[in-house]
């Protein structure tokens, strides 16, 4: 009996373009923020991508604005908490892990920056009105003012809390076939040019850069994404200058 072998087609998901909020925010400059939600029902936030982060960070209510500003509602809104800050007890999908130190931050501000860790649903908004969601994503609710806005990590390694291993946000999206790969493209934008940030998950925007022959090898298991810069060059009105970084 002659049996013909058929090729099974596999649909590859398209990269996801995250929608910027159109706002410039932050307490250390003007940063183009992106919208995301945490929990069920959804609690809305505006935040920034963290290129080496692995979790979703959100300011908690009311601790994130105690003795910070006279108007706590204004304070939470300035920290990107649209609904007044994260309330884990109002989310039906929240699963608490424990209180831990914020990863990698002892090098910056000391070892007293702790957060409440758990897992919950997380959703990003797309430029075309679509959404991108994943369940059981690691979320850290923080109150410290050392970090002002919430963030969503784009790192690819896993985290380990309470004896359990938790995949990163980007890894979960790839594993559930929401994006085609662990790659991403990000440009911060520039407020002085009214050019908002661009963020693509699972791909990149070719219009955001000029192609070069530079290739930088990165080993996934070696740690977070880091790139050592030795020199940078700027150009203005036909003049260029180089600055060596040591």
Please say if the pLDDT value at position 145 is more than 80.
yes
If one compares 245 and 116, the residue with the highest pLDDT of the two is: 116
Q: What share of the chain in percent tops pLDDT 70?
A: 83
The pLDDT score that the predictor gives to residue 218 is 65
User: What is the reported pLDDT for 166?
Assistant: 87
Give bridge partners of residue 86 from the DSSP assignment. Answer: 60
| Tokens read off for 117 | 């860790």
Q: What is the mean pLDDT of the chain?
A: 85
Under a CB-based contact definition with an 8 Å cutoff, are residues 194 and 209 in contact? no
Task: Yes or no: say if 81 and 61 are a contact pair by the CB < 8 Å rule.
Answer: yes
Contact assessment for residue 64 and residue 81, using Cβ atoms and an 8 Å cutoff: yes
Range name among 85-89, 126-130, 156-160 with the lowest pLDDT average: 156-160
State the pLDDT at residue 56: 94
Higher pLDDT: 32 or 62? It is 32
Q: What is the pLDDT of residue 77?
A: 94
pTM recorded for the entire structure: 0.83
pLDDT of residue 220: 59
User: Comparing 46 with 204, which gets the higher pLDDT?
Assistant: 46
Cα–Cα dist 177/218, whole Å: 23
Q: What is the pLDDT of residues 18-44, one digit of tens each?
A: 999 999 999 999 999 999 999 999 999
User: How many whole angstroms from its chain centre is CA 80?
Assistant: 13
Domains of the chain: 16-191 (2.40.70.10)
Q: List % helix, strand, coil for the chain (3-state, nearest 5).
A: 15, 40, 50
5: pLDDT confidence band, cut at 50, 70 and 90?
low
Average pLDDT over residues 69-96: 93
């Amino acid at each position: 009996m002659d049996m013909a072998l058929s090729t099974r087609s596999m649909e590859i998901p398209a990269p996801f373009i995250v929608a910027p909020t159109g706002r410039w925010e932050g307490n250390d400059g003007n940063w183009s923020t992106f919208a995301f939600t945490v929990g069920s029902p959804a609690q809305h936030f505006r935040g920034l991508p963290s290129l080496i982060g692995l979790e979703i960070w959100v300011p908690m209510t009311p601790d994130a604005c105690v003795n910070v500003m006279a108007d706590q509602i204004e304070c939470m809104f300035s920290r990107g908490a649209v609904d007044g800050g994260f309330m884990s007890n109002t989310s039906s999908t929240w699963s608490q892990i424990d209180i831990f130190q914020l990863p990698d931050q002892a090098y910056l501000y000391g070892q007293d920056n702790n957060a409440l860790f758990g897992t919950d649903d997380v959703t990003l908004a797309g430029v075309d009105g679509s959404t991108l969601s994943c369940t059981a994503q690691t979320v850290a609710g923080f109150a410290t003012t050392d970090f002002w806005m919430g963030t969503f990590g784009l790192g690819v390694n896993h985290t380990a809390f309470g004896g359990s291993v938790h995949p990163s946000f980007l890894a979960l999206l790839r594993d559930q076939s929401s994006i085609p790969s662990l790659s991403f493209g990000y440009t911060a934008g520039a407020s002085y040019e009214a050019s908002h940030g661009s963020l693509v998950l699972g791909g990149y925007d070719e219009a955001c850069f000029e192609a070069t022959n530079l290739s930088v090898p990165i080993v996934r298991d070696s740690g977070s994404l880091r790139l050592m810069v030795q020199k940078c060059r700027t150009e203005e009105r036909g003049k260029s200058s180089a600055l060596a970084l040591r």
